[in-house]
Chains A and B, each alone.
Chain A
Amino acid sequence: MSEQYKVSVSPHVRDSITTSKIMLYVIIALMPATIFGIINFGAHALLIVCVSIASAVASEYCYEKLLKKPITTNDLSAVVTGLLIGLNMPPQIAWWIPVVGSVFAIIVIKQLYGGIGQNFMNPALGARCFLLIAFSGQMTTYAAGDKFANLADFVQGEFTSHAAGALDALSGATPLAYLKQGYDFNLGALFAGNVTGVIGETSALCLLVGGIFLLIMKIIDWKIPVIYLGSFGVLVLITAAVRGYSNPCLYMLEELCAGGIMLGAWFMATDYVTSPITYNGQIIYAVFLGVMTWLFRMVGSGSEGVSYAIILGNVITPMIEHYTRPRAFGIAKEKKQKKEAGAS
């Protein structure tokens, strides 16, 4: 017979989803926050985001070319890494610092461990933590523009009576620093994002829109972001109540909108590679992140809590996965029966 057909093992149909499509959806979901950040902070922010992405993609391409590996820049994961690094930079930072970060993220954290899917921590967060240690001055200076010169104007009342007077010492800091001191902040401004911070973290609203988009497109599961934010929120609520703040609920909402927790919870903690894939594992991981963030923010120094919490979560992910692997369908029953038989 002359007619010959292609042969392969079943199944013979495939879903249309691909890795690059997933990455594209993540990029789209990050767009509201990116555009808001650029409008909020100006042209320099645009430059920072662009050089971050360009250097991330270039490092991946050069590394793979040099080592004669298949070029994987088409999967867009390097774009996502670069974009996240850009969004994690203070708006006035020197342009070469994110470049150093992108190269570190792609070469050291991603490629040296075997490329996409093999990295043990989120490349963008790893790079941010590296930069925080290497250039701690530049990375924590949120040189406020004219618009933010009087950030303190947003400070409304006080959660605590003894916080007054410390206000001057805080100029140029992020809202998180104010909150840590016990000041009440303007929740509306925090939610919309008219405050200082790194480029992409300020607008809780834009990040939430992106996060919900990912949920609808079924790119991420609700468990990690919701449980992370939820457990952190509950702990903050309790803390505020114990510390005797006048409005613990408002304080909790402000903590949830300030700093990097929205960006972290929706876009970094949910990174496939570095978060558990098991159902129970995701719950444990999310609660762990909530507790760690709470520790860093409420007990520790106050800033960069989210980055360090997620990095720690990434590191223990393989262990969580190992201990939470699901029991196969029909197996649980068998074990129970054995136990019953043993007991009787």
Chain B
Amino acid sequence: MGLFTFKGGVHPYEGKELAMDQAVRELKPGKELVYLLSQHIGAPAKACVAKGDHVLAGQKIADAGGFVSAPVYASVSGTVTGIEKRKNATGGLVDAIIVENDDKYESVTYEAGDPDKLSRDEILAKIREAGVVGMGGAGFPTAVKLAPKDPSVVDHILVNGSECEPYLTSDYRCMLEQPEKIVGGLAIILKLFDAKCKGVICIENNKPKAIEIMKKAVQGHANMSVAVLKTKYPEGAERCLINAITGRTVNSKMLPADAGCVVDNVGTVMAVYDAVKLGKPLIDRVFTLSGDAVKQPGNFLVPVGMSYQEIVDQAGGFKQQPEKMISGGPMMGFALFDLNVPVTKTSGAITAFLKDQVAEAKETACISCGRCLHGCPARLMPCKLADFAEHGDAESFEAYYGLECVNCGSCSYQCPAKRPLAAEINMMRQTVLANKKKQAQAKKKA
């Protein structure tokens, strides 16, 4: 069978062997848990507890702040000690509810549900109420994603188990350890769409064990299958994945549903299962700690709100003081300047490196080698776009489709001149989009 893939992409060192054989281990949080109110795309959640309140694990502590938003739940029992600004992984300060852990882990009782007896709207309500968001990193509220304007056009539910980001192995472990949960979650999602809708679990061919296990797990489900993808970064990027599996194309102005697809990460599908079948809100997630600086790389079940520092400490710490600390994987993750950051619904990993390759690389002049073009999954000309960005030429930037960039970083990775192409393009893209928004608002007023 041929492998599914897309045009473009790069082959960074995978580094999966460090953590891939480590079974998921549950970690207990420390004294203080921090629940950020913005852990998803959309409006921040609104706190519904006050300082001094006693909360239970699984108790809602913040309501959704709008339609595109998600509620937040406590992952431990304890006392709310404050609502204040805290730092997130990208370095921004956002509102957060601080809970002091009483180490009793008293939990609310979850109300199990039978998806067969629930209507479409009831299922969606359960997913929304459980605070499920895209756990691959984007954090888009899943209930919104699963309710497109016209559900009848959706004929593919793609479960993203490609995990193309180097070093990360959390999705892989989930597929090995809880295949029935993934299949169960997918079955629930498929109920929301027409009978013709197919569920496809997409896995890169560097995970043969996961492919085997998932293939066994989908047996007996006529509307489910496993698709084997070529191992290439960014195979798991939404637009690339849709193109690889269906051949359809999605640009920045379209939603996946416009191409008849809904893409959900493995972790998200499991959270959907928990939400609908068990009635359990999203309060924990599987997390990878890896990189050459980590003493014992592994995969862990961590509660939302736990600090990164505690994860590292409990997992065994570092071999040596790392030079670079990344929240997420090395291609799209965010560099951290310290570990005093809480786990959110979307944080999937810490990657720690002894050496920082970026600091070592010296930028030289572009020699127009074209490597960035070959690697770009959006088929852009990154070297030109970066030039336009440097000159602040928004017009040419748009004419060369700069807004189609998905910030995957393939161009920067491949550049022999070590130009920070992706960073420059992304910054310009944000500026152009912000200006457009401003102009649109000005027009509305006038």
Contacts and interface: CB of A to CB of B under 8 A. Distances in A.
Interface in B346-368: 351, 353, 356-359, 361, 364-368
Contacts of B364: 18-19, 72, 75, 116
A325 interface: yes
A273 B353 CA distance: 35
Nearest to A219: B369
A18 B367 CA distance: 11
B239 A12 contact: no
Contact of A8 (B239, B252, B359, B373): B359
A241 to B, nearest CB: 36
B337 A330 contact: no
Given A12-B324, A278-B373, A325 B381 contact: yes
Contacts of B253: 334
Contact of A11 (B239, B325, B332): B332
Interface string B297-310: 00000000000010
B244 to A, nearest CB: 12
A248 to B, nearest CB: 36
A118 B379 CA distance: 24
A13 B99 CA distance: 36
Given A7-B335, A329-B249, A14 B365 contact: no
Kindly state the interface size class of chain A when it binds its partner.
35 or more
Contacts of A115: 365
Interface in B366-380: 366-371, 373, 377-380
A118 B366 CA distance: 8
B356 A273 contact: no
B365 A13 contact: no
A6 B340 contact: no
A118 to B, nearest CB: 7
A12 B330 contact: yes
**Chain B binding site: helix, strand, loop or mixed by DSSP?**
loop
Q: Which of B323, B340, B409 has the most CB of A within 10 A?
A: B409
A169 B435 CA distance: 73
A17 B384 CA distance: 20
A8 B331 contact: no
Interface in B397-432: 400-401, 404, 407, 409, 412-418, 420, 422-423, 426
A5 B250 CA distance: 37
Given A17-B414, A277-B370, A329-B379, A12 B357 contact: yes
B336 A117 contact: no
Given A328-B401, A329-B239, A330-B251, A12 B368 contact: no
Contacts of A11: 12, 330-332, 409, 412-413, 422
A15 B423 contact: no
A5 B322 contact: yes
Nearest to B427: A9
Contacts of A334: 251, 253-254
Interface residues of B, number: 70
A344 interface: no
Nearest to B337: A7
A270 to B, nearest CB: 10
Contacts of B166: 13
Nearest to A331: B251
Contacts of B194: none
A326 interface: yes
B381 A22 contact: no
Given A1-B339, A8-B356, A13 B331 contact: yes
A124 B13 CA distance: 37
B323 A6 contact: yes
Interface in A10-29: 10-15, 17-19, 21-22
A283 to B, nearest CB: 13
A272 B370 CA distance: 8
A109 B243 CA distance: 44
B413 A15 contact: yes
Contacts of B361: 14
B401 A5 contact: no
B249 A333 contact: yes
Given A325-B381, A330-B249, A330-B250, A12 B353 contact: yes
B321 interface: yes
A12 B335 contact: yes
A4 B356 CA distance: 13
A340 interface: no
Nearest to B384: A325
B201 interface: no
B251 A329 contact: yes
B289 interface: no
Given A11-B409, A326-B379, A18 B416 contact: yes
Nearest to B358: A8
A144 B430 CA distance: 65
A3 interface: yes
26 contacts: A1-B340, A5-B324, A5-B338, A6-B323, A6-B335, A8-B324, A8-B335, A10-B332, A10-B334, A10-B409, A10-B423, A11-B330, A12-B331, A14-B357, A14-B413, A15-B416, A17-B416, A18-B418, A19-B416, A72-B364, A117-B365, A272-B368, A325-B384, A327-B401, A328-B404, A330-B250
Given A6-B358, A7-B337, A75-B364, 10 more contacts: A1-B340, A10-B333, A10-B422, A14-B357, A117-B417, A279-B373, A325-B381, A328-B378, A329-B379, A330-B250
The 3 closest A-B pairs by CB, nearest first: A330-B251, A11-B409, A328-B401
